[in-house]
């Protein structure tokens, strides 16, 4: 695999049973690159450790006053220098290639998992954890992959040199053969403590990253309430904890490095002392002593790779474990069982399944039914319950929660407990009788689009924001008009005119080419909400689920958005989670889902007149007002509920 071939057409299905198994899987997938790197490492290190032989040969030639042998020693050194340089360059190139390709594979796997899980990812694992895995952990895993081939070459070279020294000079060679393995294993008792300190540093860094992300995201609100100093103080404390943990970790690794320097020095002293005594007794020549001494000196270089691989594995093993934990997350129990559906892309089975998906959308857990082709409004009363129901409608079953099917089996027909998955998992929604969590991801996403309550706008131009997979039936202009984005376009045009780098068209600044800042922070909440709605409308999915799409706009704009969505989505299934009378009055049908169960179906006006609980939720009626209304009193504070209903009906009539 070459860098120019990235990204991978398919990064594969990783072994996520444990961190070491994940590392083994990575190594197995780039076996050719590891072998190539190890071979170049052998060339480099073999040439390097052969220098003592040439040096000893030359010294002995000088002692024997042999010019020809001295010339041969010089030529041998030149050849070894060339091989050392060539091997070093090619080893570095091959090892870095292994690093980059392994990191790219892991990042592709994480990206695929993020797309697969969608908004459910941050409910299964903290956002800071995801950021730490996709940045720092990926680098540590790549470091181990890169160091592995160098360590392999170093280990083979070390063993070969020790064997050669034993054969060349048995007395000194035996000392080296015993001492070198002892040096390599001397740091093993220190590694567990070093790994624990490294893990502590990483965990504190992850928490600091998450705190910083939350602070930046809520900076506008913090400034409004004067709380920015409080949160900045917390981040300062968190960063100091990271610094302290990093210093403690560095001290341990410094101790390991000191051991790796001190012990080889002691071995070298012992070899020289013992060799000198042998030379005095005439048991070895001066050239042999120089050869053994030089060999031990050069062995210190491959020994450094033993320290490096120990550090790399200590850091990468917990990183691989965390990456495997994220990659092991599944959309449903069927995938968790080890049989993930194969997503064959837009031209494979996913597209064919998407073409077959259609019909009524039904949630077995709550009993909520959205007929095909109609605008259905859903009133839950509890925003969290509405979010969980919206997730299920998008094919993301929710574990636990008050609406997970624990409220009894009434109004659920023959589904009963079968509507709940294993381990308390709420069952997925059915589109045309097909469970969304059992079809390929591409098919589910193409058929049903869920817009969250707080959608995110990515940085870029408005054209790029609306450049999403779409059916082609709805243009960007129609979507922006339905979402009532006229004032947003005017604001963007003004921003483009004020920006010296703005792109001016023939009729003035083009708002479609104006850049939107990260998360749309330069826009108001209502403007961001309407742009997100336009982005959802332009995709033109078979089923569109909107969670509180107009909570940040005024009533007049809300009424126009309701009309625009209804007009643009004619013949398509649209589900809106809302408690706004303006949206409810324009829906073909309204489903009331309090406490996780569908208990009322009808038009908004019908439910207002027949269901007092529904009326209380929609009109924000308090218990005291409900009691007063039941008693027939309509004056004073207790009569505020009837006045609220009157205002709602008056507002509906006025907007109509």
- Taking alpha carbons only, the member of 548, 558, 553, 554 closest to residue 585 is 558
How confident is the model at residue 568, as a pLDDT? 93
Tell me the three-class secondary structure of 296-317, residue by residue: HHHHHHHHHHHHHHHHHHHHHH
Give the C-alpha separation, 652 to 475, whole Å: 30
| CB contact at 8 A, 492 and 511 | yes
The SS3 of residue 362 is strand
Residue 349 pLDDT: 46
The maximal CA–CA distance of the chain, rounded, in angstroms, is 125
Contact (Cβ atoms closer than 8 angstroms) between residue 377 and residue 591: yes
Q: What is the pLDDT of residue 400?
A: 45
Nearest to 165 by CA among 304, 288, 305: 288
**Are the beta carbons of 531 and 462 closer than 8 angstroms?**
yes
Q: Which domains, and CATH codes, for the chain?
A: 15-328 (1.20.1560.10), 356-460+529-619 (3.40.50.300)
The answer to whether 349 and 132 have CB atoms below 8 angstroms apart is no
Which residue is it, tokens 């940040």?
552
Can you say whether the dihedral through the CA atoms of 523, 525, 527, 528 is positive or negative? positive
Give dist(CA 522, CA 95) in Å, integer: 44
Confidence at residue 426, expressed as pLDDT on a 0 to 100 scale: 56
Looking at the chain, how many residues does it have? 656
CB atoms within 10 A of CB 351: 15
Q: Is the pTM of this model over 0.85?
A: no
| Residue 537 CB partners (closer than 8 Å, separation 6+) | 474, 478, 479, 482, 483, 544, 565, 568, 569
Is the C-alpha dihedral spanning 557, 559, 563, 569 positive or negative? positive
Sequence-ordered alpha helix ranges (H) in 3-137 = 19-29, 31-49, 51-63, 67-117, 121-124, 127-132
**Nearest alpha carbon to residue 175 among 281, 258, 295, 262:** 295
DSSP summary character for residue 404: S
CB contact burial 421-435 (16+ within 10 A = b; e otherwise): beeebbbbbbbeebb
| DSSP 3-state of 515 | strand
Pick out the chain residues at pLDDT < 70: 1-2, 119-120, 127-128, 213-228, 331-356, 396-427, 497-508, 518-519, 621-656
543-547 and 448-451 beta bridge pairing: parallel
* pLDDT value at residue 632: 57
3-state secondary structure of 1: coil
Q: Is 559 left (phi over 0), alpha (psi -120 to 50) or beta?
A: alpha
Contact, 68 vs 293, CB < 8 A?
Answer: no
* Cα 470 from Cα 637, distance rounded (Å): 52
| DSSP designation for 425 | B
**In which region does residue 497 sit, left (phi positive, over 0), alpha (psi from -120 to 50) or beta (all else)?**
alpha
Q: What is the C-alpha separation between 521 and 223, in angstroms, rounded?
A: 14
Closest C-alpha among 329, 361, 335, 351 to residue 448: 361
* Distance from chain centroid for Cα 559: 38
């Amino acid at each position: 695999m070459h860098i120019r071939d990235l990204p991978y057409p398919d990064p594969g299905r990783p072994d996520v049973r444990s961190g070491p198994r994940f590392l083994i899987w990575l190594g197995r997938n780039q076996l050719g690159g590891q072998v190539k790197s190890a071979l170049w490492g052998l060339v480099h290190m073999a040439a390097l450790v052969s220098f003592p032989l040439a040096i000893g040969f030359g010294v002995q030639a000088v002692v024997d006053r042999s010019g020809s042998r001295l010339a041969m020693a010089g030529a041998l050194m030149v050849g070894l220098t060339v091989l050392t340089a060539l091997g070093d360059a090619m080893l570095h190139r091959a090892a870095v290639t292994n690093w980059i390709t392994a990191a790219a594979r892991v990042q592709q796997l994480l990206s695929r998992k993020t797309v697969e899980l969608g908004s459910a990812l941050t409910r299964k694992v903290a956002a800071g954890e995801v950021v730490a895995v996709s940045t720092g952990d990926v680098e540590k895993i790549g470091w181990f992959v890169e160091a592995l081939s160098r360590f392999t070459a170093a280990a083979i070279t070390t063993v070969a040199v020790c064997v050669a020294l034993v054969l060349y000079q048995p007395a000194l060679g035996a000392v080296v053969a015993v001492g070198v393995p002892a040096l390599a294993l001397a740091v093993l008792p220190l590694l567990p403590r070093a790994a624990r300190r490294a893990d502590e540093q990483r965990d504190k860094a992850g928490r600091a990253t998450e705190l910083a992300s939350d602070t930046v995201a809520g900076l506008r609100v913090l400034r409004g309430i004067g709380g920015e100093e409080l949160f900045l103080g917390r981040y300062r404390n968190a960063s100091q904890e990271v610094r302290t943990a990093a210093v403690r970790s560095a001290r341990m690794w410094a101790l390991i490095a000191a051991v790796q320097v001190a012990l080889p020095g002691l071995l070298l002293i012992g070899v020289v002392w013992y060799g000198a005594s042998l030379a005095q007794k005439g048991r070895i020549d001066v050239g042999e002593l120089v050869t053994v001494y030089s060999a031990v000196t050069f062995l210190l270089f491959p020994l450094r790779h033993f320290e490096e691989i120990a550090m790399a594995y200590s850091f990468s093993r917990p990183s691989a474990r965390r990456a495997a934990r994220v990659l092991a997350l599944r959309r449903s129990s069927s995938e968790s069982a080890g049989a993930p559906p194969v997503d064959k892309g837009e031209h494979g089975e996913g597209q064919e399944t998407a073409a077959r998906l259609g019909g009524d959308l039904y949630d077995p857990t709550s009993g909520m039914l959205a007929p095909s082709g109609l605008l259905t409004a859903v009133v839950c009363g509890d925003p969290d319950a509405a979010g969980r129901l919206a997730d299920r409608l998008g094919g993301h079953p929710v574990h636990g929660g008050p609406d997970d099917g624990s409220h009894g089996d009434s109004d659920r027909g023959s589904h009963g407990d079968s509507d709940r998955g294993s381990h308390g998992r709420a069952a997925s929604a059915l589109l045309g009788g097909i469970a969304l969590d059992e079809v390929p991801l591409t098919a589910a996403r193409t058929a049903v689009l869920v817009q969250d309550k707080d959608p995110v706008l990515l940085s870029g131009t408005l054209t790029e924001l609306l450049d999403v997979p779409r059916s082609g039936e709805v243009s960007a202009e129609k979507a922006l008009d339905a979402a009532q984005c006229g004032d947003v376009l005017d604001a963007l045009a003004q921003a483009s005119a004020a920006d010296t780098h703005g792109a001016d068209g023939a009729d003035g600044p083009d708002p479609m080419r104006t850049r939107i800042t990260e998360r749309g922070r330069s826009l108001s909440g209502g403007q961001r909400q309407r742009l997100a709605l336009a982005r959802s409308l332009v995709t033109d999915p078979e089923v569109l689920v909107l969670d509180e799409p107009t909570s940040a706009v005024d009533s007049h704009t809300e009424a126009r958005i309701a009309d625009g969505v209804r007009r643009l989505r004619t013949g398509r299934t649209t589900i809106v989670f809302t408690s706004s009378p303006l949206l409810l009055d324009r829906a073909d049908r309204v489903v009331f889902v309090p406490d996780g169960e569908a208990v009322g179906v009808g038009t908004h006006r019908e439910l207002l007149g027949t269901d007092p609980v529904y009326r209380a939720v929609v009109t924000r009626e308090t218990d005291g007002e409900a009691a007063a209304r039941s008693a027939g009193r309509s004056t004073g504070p207790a009569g505020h509920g009837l006045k609220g209903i009157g205002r709602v009906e008056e507002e509906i009539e006025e907007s109509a």
